[in-house]
Amino acid sequence: MKSTHLSKMTLLLILLTMFSCFNNEKKEYASAEEIPVNREMNAELTSPPYVPTPIGKRKAKKLIVKMEIKEQEGEITDGVRYVYWTFGGSVPGSFIRTRVGDEVEFHLQNHPDNKLPHNIDLHAVNGPGGGAESSFVAPGHEKIFSFKVLNPGLYVYHCATAPVGMHIANGMYGLILVEPDGGLPPVDKEYYVMQGDFYTKGANGERGLQPFDMQKAVDEKADYVVFNGNVNALTGDNALTAKVGETVRLFVGNGGPGLVSSFHVIGEIFDKVHVEGGDVINENVQTTLIPAGGAAIVEFKVDVPGTFILVDHSIFRAFNKGALGMLKVEGEKDKKIYSGELMDNIYLPEGPGIQSMPTTNEIKESEIPAKSLAEQLEFGKQIYGQTCIACHQAEGQGIPNAFPPLAKSDYLNADVNRAIDIVLHGKTGEITVNGAKYNSVMTKQMISQEEIANVLTYVYNSWGNNKTVVTPEMVKKVKDKK
Ligand code: CU
């Protein structure tokens, strides 16, 4: 009896000792630099939007990172070419995933076909230039340096070869994650998103191979602000995906070189943000600021299906310069969390007895009809300036991906009655104009038949269109058909 009791005590003591040893594993080392490296392994590198396998419980290792610099031509948006300088063949560069205590042996390889020397400054490095001084490498060479990973967090790396701004502007940036001992808590989906601003000789949308514009970069007047290197990187078929109920973690960086990002996901709230990629965790965040040369980790659970839009909430960048991505979520609807449209009621601020919604019947015909083509053009131009210009722009050029052009418009010139009908009744749904697809909404215009005739005559007689003259009678005919 006594001996049994004793052996139980012994066992308990052994267990306690074991437990305390295990428990003290983290505390054994005064700092990350003392964590021993138990083996050597090659780092898994990934192109955006993907990230390497989580670290989990793996011990600190000697991690070999082999990264090849490639200068290569790509497409920044439809028809616009750009020579990117890349770490690993992508913008942003390959994602590097490490943990505290890792000893990274970094091999920076400059492809022999490249034209310029480059280097790398990793913000996760404690050392001069973040590695830049040791890694300056000419085409056809490889430089090797090593560093111990001391601080957990999400860090930017970038080229720091003069002119530094130009190397970064051409796409030379990426992210290196340093996970804490034991790893980050597991989530369902992880993605890599990095913003960057681009400066081209031609204006936004100007076709052909566009050289870098140093002056625009100095002035911080970006032609493109994009996620993952180009306008279409995270839209359509390239959208990020998740399922209802999953938790999504985005590793978000901002390479700059010039602009700070107000990162936001339309229709979502960040449950957690690792502010600036560090240890501070903020909760329930709508928009998080990501400095140039900085990062953040954002996490959120997706509750309902739909397309959620990633933007820089400096909103012209999103809708006019490309800083727009998509997260498509599939799964069951939950009407308690989001109902969708329930009803479309007439809204009358002053009560139904006082006024009713205007209809085309109530639009007053103008009392001074145009007496000549010249007058039609003059009046039409005025209407255009009041009604159409915001969307279709001063020269009828439209806005790419949003509002179709009216200048040299095949769609317009093909069918005048269709054009009249659209101005009378509005238009929704996809149309193709000059080979490009548009899917926006034009509301019906509250202007008279006379005004419709004038404005369409103005449009048809401007910007290379077919010079159709539209009369009020033609407008009336289309209207009466409905
Ligand atoms: Cu460079």
The CA distances from residue 6 to 11, 14, 15, 431, in Å, are 9, 12, 14, 86
What would the mean pLDDT of 133-147 be, rounded to a whole number? 95
Selected residue with higher pLDDT from 312 and 358: 312
Of the listed ranges 170-179, 268-277, 398-407, the least confidently predicted one is: 398-407
| Ligand 1 centroid – CA 237 distance (Å) | 31
Selected residue with higher pLDDT from 7 and 43: 43
| Ligand 1 centroid – CA 164 distance (Å) | 7
Q: What are phi and psi of 104, to 5 degrees?
A: -95, 125
| Ligand 1 centroid – CA 288 distance (Å) | 29
| Ligand 1 centroid – CA 78 distance (Å) | 26
| Ligand 1 centroid – CA 337 distance (Å) | 48
| Ligand 1 centroid – CA 108 distance (Å) | 11
| Ligand 1 centroid – CA 163 distance (Å) | 9
The CA distances from residue 169 to 59, 91, 200, 218, 272, in Å, are 36, 11, 10, 11, 30
User: What is the Cα–Cα distance from 406 to 465, expressed in whole angstroms?
Assistant: 8
pLDDT at 13: 55
pLDDT at 274: 98
Q: What are phi and psi of 253, to 5 degrees?
A: -120, 165
| Ligand 1 centroid – CA 253 distance (Å) | 18
Contact by Cβ (8 Å): 179, 98: yes
Question: With 60 as the cut, is the pLDDT of residue 441 above it?
Answer: yes
- Label residue 15 by pLDDT band (50, 70, 90): low
What would the mean pLDDT of 80-105 be, rounded to a whole number? 97
What would the mean pLDDT of 210-226 be, rounded to a whole number? 96
pLDDT at 348: 65
User: What is the Cα–Cα distance from 260 to 264, expressed in whole angstroms?
Assistant: 13
Selected residue with higher pLDDT from 5 and 332: 332
